[in-house]
Chain A
Amino acid sequence: MQNNRFMKAAALSVMFALGGAGTAVAGVTDKDILADQMTTDDVVSNGMGLRGQRFSTLDKINRDTIQDMRPVWAFSMGGEKQRGQETQPMIKDGVMYITGSYSRVWAVDARSGEELWQYEARLPDGIMPCCDVINRGVALYGDLVIFGTLDAKLVALNKDTGKTVWKKKVEDYKAGYSISAAPIVVDGKVITGVAGGEFGIVGKVRAYDAQNGDLVWERPTVEGHMGYVYEDGKKIEAGISGGAPGKTWPADLWKSGGAAPWLGGTYDPDVDLLFFGTGNPAPWNSHQRPGDNYFSSSRLAIDPDNGEIVWHFQTTPNDGWDYDGVNELISFDYEHQGKTIKAAATADRNGFFYVLNRENGEFIRGFPFVDKINWAKGLDENGRPIFNDANRPGNPANSEDGKKGETVVAAPSFLGGKNWQPMAYSKDTGLFYVPSNEWEMDIWNEPTAYKKGAAYLGAGFTISSIEEDYIGVLRAIDPKTGETVWRHNNYAPLWGGALATSGGLVFTGNPEGYLMAFDDRTGEVVYKFNTGSGIVGSPVTWEMDGEQYVSVASGWGGAVPLWGGEVAQRVKDLNQGGTIWTFKLPKRYENTNLAAK
């Protein structure tokens, strides 16, 4: 199995290098997707390249020229309700594809900003999305625009007309499942996870044939559940995740273990592996499920051909803080003592930044990327946390006298040192640019709770800021040393993605509405533009008609306003919105003498 994968990885590299024929489809091809991070005239994958580095080699917009970057059009998503625009725009052949809240999709002329078509998913009566109503973007393949809906379907639209070509039910929306992440396409297969109703669900990563939506494989993310491959319409057993039930879960709790892979994933063609993060285990109180609870709160390396879990790394075993493990794992290479290390990095909700060997999942190093962590004292030599038991939420058995259980203060809060908002990696500086947050939580077992008319034990929590002046911190982190090379503090929490470019710039947006650009080496703010509503989307850049463009969605929302508390005070006056802002540097403002880097 190992040999086959390496051979295929080699074949893919060769195909890619020679520019050989991919699958014969019109429009976006496998080759286009694999080359996405090198090509500058399009953006055809989530992450601007399947590795998810969000790095562009474009340098026309740079420190010297950015003051002349100007908006060229704005597109309004409209609609009666807004609730947060977390999309990453995609651009191909002069057309931009974006998603909006409430499972909406648009195709927009990338030059003029005029709408070409709009699609709104019709959502069923009984829907009750477990999580937010946002959507993080589409996948492109052939002449299809593919995305996930709030009622847990995958929908493929014709890129020219917006009409449905195929639609597949991924999970039962009535159980609270939904899809908010952008799918990715690898080797003609659409790969998606799913967001869960927290309770009674089992997470799965699935692959579908991109052309017709037929299921190719499914891989459960909880130990004890069988995975399947589908051949000629037949369902074939493909091994139990983790080998057998009951190894890391007591009794039959693995049956509803959770671990929903709700943030999608990345892919590296060098090692030919998908990297998907998994959500927290259920039930939420860790005392009910002693054991590591595989494969919750982990990063999984999955074979894209058959869904096999090739390796796993668990960032928070027996997760008691709702940290999840979904954050993106970004592949990158670096030199160490004359050797090229095939690494991958992730900034986890739990406050630690991990660097792993992406060939086998081995721990290389890990270090805090936030100022305060108290749920663990550190990581051991294998990257396993050294728990601080005093800061684990208490045993529910101790709340059974009907009174509120003991309160624990844990840092980071469950919203995490970094949440879904993707970081960026610059090949030029070798640094990761991480939109992080400093906050902590009080958490307790809440016995005054009900569910469907039955007495219940809920999770009580409040989130509070650690510092008066800021919650958000954009950090430039050296993955080889753990050093934060520079940081920029922000009053409100950061909740939008980052972008790094060879122009020596890092772009991100903040809830106050500013699209900002920073000098990638010093952190100096070199540009600010107020888009009118908070930015929780991910910026992109591309080249069109010989000029460099930048685009970002503006529209405040996401999880921060949902969870309230003291933190909500910082954001409650921010207005919602739904607009795509697109900027460019006109040709006449390009400089021919680039500043020395």
Chain B
Amino acid sequence: MKIFCVAVLLLFCGQTVARSLEDIVDSGRIVVAVYDDYYPFSIRHKSNDRVDTYGSDAVGSSGAEAETDEDENALGDLSTDPYRGVPASSGTGIDIDLAAAIAESLDVELELIWMTAGETTEDDLRNYLWKGHIIHGVKADLMMRVPYDRDYTLKRDDIGLLVHELVHMFGPYHVEAWQVAHDTKNLPELPTVSLFSYHPVGVEVDSIPQLYLTSAFNGRFREQARQFNSLQAAFVGMVDEKVHAVMGIRSQVTALHSQLDNARFELAENAFPLIGRQQWDIGVAVHNDYRALGYAVGDVITEKTLNGELQEIFTKYGAEYQMPDYYNY
């Protein structure tokens, strides 16, 4: 298929719909999209000679962006395969470890695309899975950290078409939930969220925890909500005693908490009344065209779930793991 494209129809290669399982195995590599610098799922190694590779084949300068402009065509050749990533050694994390296990099972090398998140997951699925990046045209064979949610899968747009028609979401690999960690020095116990009225709480900006703290219960927590650009920054704020608790997604909160002094910082066991979504499944997605790839990847995830390897991956990063109901049969 690739040779056919190059030889005959350069014009149409940029519109290659997807790579089949055969294409992936033949090429010896699988391209997997993970979120850029997203602790503890896909942590990017800081590197002085990190170069931008999607934009053109020209090598960038060391560290800072290239200062010279040689009128390189920034959109890239149409003959450039949209399925191209960077080496898996560029990062680590739960999602990357699972992606590596998948690649190993398929007997191919793992390449990563570091996704810059759009406003919602819909944008990410479009930009990195079915349509390609709006500027660079790159696409992934497989995307990690995708909701496994029937209502979401069947969502329709305002003229009745399925929003996610071109992607197949499957292979749930853990259950995500909300979690609070608190500093017992300033907030000894947190049995219920009512204490949020009396203590500053750190949340990531533009997240459900921020929404919850600023509008639930007629806004009674609003004045105590403190926003941070990331959950890591919120944890730093808690260590510095600027906030007495942090609320975020459980994987992140438990992983970060595992790096702190357990005597001082504790994980709370409160409920989140009226929060709308208490728990949801996280899985993967492929382009809808090639189900064989989906079956192969799904089989690997099932195997790693049932033999405990997924639990081990989470434990390695100090994150709490919960098996999805999908496997309880």
- B194 at the binding interface (Cβ < 8 Å): no
Do A287 and B215 form a contact, CB below 8 Å, given A119-B69, A401-B276? yes
- The one of A102, A457, A568 in contact with B75, judged by C-beta atoms closer than 8 angstroms, is A102
- A38 at the binding interface (Cβ < 8 Å): no
Interface size class of B (residues with CB under 8 A): 35 or more
CA distance A283 to B53 in the complex (A): 34
- A336 at the binding interface (Cβ < 8 Å): no
- Do residues A80 and B205 form an inter-chain contact, with CB atoms below 8 A? no
- The one of B147, B225, B249 in contact with A251, judged by C-beta atoms closer than 8 angstroms, is B225
Residues of B within 8 Å of A569, CB to CB, are 159
Residues of B within 8 Å of A119, CB to CB, are 69, 71
Residues of B within 8 Å of A282, CB to CB, are 206
- Do residues A457 and B117 form an inter-chain contact, with CB atoms below 8 A? no
Q: Select the stretch in A3-11, A26-34, A126-134, A589-597 that faces chain B.
A: A126-134
- Do residues B114 and A125 form an inter-chain contact, with CB atoms below 8 A? yes
Do A126 and B152 form a contact, CB below 8 Å, given A102-B74, A198-B119, A454-B207? no
- Do residues B75 and A79 form an inter-chain contact, with CB atoms below 8 A? yes
Residues of A within 8 Å of B65, CB to CB, are 124
Do A452 and B55 form a contact, CB below 8 Å, given A252-B227, A564-B157? no
Do A251 and B222 form a contact, CB below 8 Å, given A452-B38, A453-B121? yes
- Do residues A256 and B134 form an inter-chain contact, with CB atoms below 8 A? no
- B325 at the binding interface (Cβ < 8 Å): no
- Do residues A123 and B135 form an inter-chain contact, with CB atoms below 8 A? yes
For window 199-217 of chain B, which residues contact chain A by CB distance below 8 Å? 205-208, 210-212, 214-217
- Do residues A122 and B72 form an inter-chain contact, with CB atoms below 8 A? yes
Do A397 and B207 form a contact, CB below 8 Å, given A451-B117, A453-B35? no
B150, closest chain A residue (CB)? A448
Residues of B within 8 Å of A176, CB to CB, are 116
Do A450 and B147 form a contact, CB below 8 Å, given A126-B36, A397-B217? yes
Residues of B within 8 Å of A255, CB to CB, are 205, 227
Q: Can you list, as one digit per residue, whether each of B215-253 has a CB less than 8 Å from chain A (1) or not (0)?
A: 111110011111101000000000000000000010000
- The one of A122, A250, A395, A451 in contact with B56, judged by C-beta atoms closer than 8 angstroms, is A122
CA distance A457 to B209 in the complex (A): 11
Residues of B within 8 Å of A174, CB to CB, are 36, 116
Residues of B within 8 Å of A450, CB to CB, are 120-121, 147, 149, 152, 280
CA distance A471 to B256 in the complex (A): 52
- Do residues B135 and A133 form an inter-chain contact, with CB atoms below 8 A? yes
Question: How distant is B113 from chain A, measured CB to nearest CB, in Å?
Answer: 9
Do A120 and B120 form a contact, CB below 8 Å, given A252-B225, A288-B211, A450-B152? no
- B136 at the binding interface (Cβ < 8 Å): yes
A397, closest chain B residue (CB)? B215
- Do residues B205 and A127 form an inter-chain contact, with CB atoms below 8 A? no
- B52 at the binding interface (Cβ < 8 Å): yes
- The one of B53, B206, B226 in contact with A125, judged by C-beta atoms closer than 8 angstroms, is B53
B66, closest chain A residue (CB)? A122
Do A283 and B74 form a contact, CB below 8 Å, given A125-B52, A400-B276, A447-B277? no
Do A164 and B69 form a contact, CB below 8 Å, given A283-B210, A448-B149? yes
CA distance A124 to B65 in the complex (A): 8
Number of interface residues of A (CB under 8 A): 70
Question: How distant is A173 from chain B, measured CB to nearest CB, in Å?
Answer: 9
Question: How distant is B23 from chain A, measured CB to nearest CB, in Å?
Answer: 23
Q: Can you list, as one digit per residue, whether each of A432-468 has a CB less than 8 Å from chain B (1) or not (0)?
A: 0000000000100001111111111110001100000
Do A396 and B215 form a contact, CB below 8 Å, given A124-B65, A126-B114, A452-B145? yes
- Do residues B211 and A453 form an inter-chain contact, with CB atoms below 8 A? no
A117, closest chain B residue (CB)? B71
Main secondary structure of the interface of B (DSSP, over half): loop
For window 136-167 of chain A, which residues contact chain B by CB distance below 8 Å? 150, 162-164, 167
- Do residues B71 and A118 form an inter-chain contact, with CB atoms below 8 A? yes
Residues of B within 8 Å of A529, CB to CB, are none
- Do residues A125 and B119 form an inter-chain contact, with CB atoms below 8 A? no
- A253 at the binding interface (Cβ < 8 Å): yes
B205, closest chain A residue (CB)? A200
CA distance A447 to B219 in the complex (A): 19
A442, closest chain B residue (CB)? B158
- Do residues A397 and B222 form an inter-chain contact, with CB atoms below 8 A? no
- B67 at the binding interface (Cβ < 8 Å): yes
CA distance A450 to B282 in the complex (A): 11
For window 132-185 of chain B, which residues contact chain A by CB distance below 8 Å? 134-136, 145-147, 149, 151-152, 155, 157-159, 176
- The one of A287, A288, A448 in contact with B151, judged by C-beta atoms closer than 8 angstroms, is A448
Q: Can you list, as one digit per residue, whether each of B56-88 has a CB less than 8 Å from chain A (1) or not (0)?
A: 100000000111110111110010000000000
Residues of A within 8 Å of B135, CB to CB, are 102, 123, 127, 129, 133, 150
- A234 at the binding interface (Cβ < 8 Å): no
CA distance A250 to B224 in the complex (A): 10
CA distance A121 to B66 in the complex (A): 11
CA distance A569 to B160 in the complex (A): 13
For window 68-125 of chain A, which residues contact chain B by CB distance below 8 Å? 79-81, 102-103, 118-125
CA distance A12 to B146 in the complex (A): 59
Question: How distant is B197 from chain A, measured CB to nearest CB, in Å?
Answer: 12
CA distance A239 to B316 in the complex (A): 49
- B254 at the binding interface (Cβ < 8 Å): no
B251, closest chain A residue (CB)? A453
CA distance A250 to B213 in the complex (A): 12
Leading 9 A-B pairs by shortest Cβ distance: A462-B158, A199-B206, A455-B277, A453-B145, A128-B116, A450-B121, A400-B276, A125-B52, A200-B205
User: Which A residues are within 8 Å of any B CB, using their own CB?
Assistant: 79-81, 102-103, 118-130, 133, 150, 162-164, 167, 174, 176, 197-200, 250-253, 255-256, 282-283, 285, 287-290, 395-397, 399-402, 442, 447-458, 462-463, 564-566, 568-569
Known: A451-B120, A463-B158. 19 other contacts (CB 8 A): A122-B56, A125-B52, A128-B127, A133-B134, A133-B135, A174-B116, A250-B214, A251-B223, A256-B227, A283-B214, A288-B214, A400-B274, A401-B274, A402-B277, A453-B121, A462-B158, A564-B157, A565-B157, A566-B158
A and B contact pairs by CB, cutoff 8 A, 21 listed? A127-B135, A127-B136, A250-B222, A251-B214, A251-B224, A253-B227, A288-B211, A396-B211, A397-B217, A397-B218, A400-B274, A402-B276, A442-B158, A450-B121, A451-B119, A451-B206, A451-B207, A453-B41, A456-B121, A456-B207, A566-B159
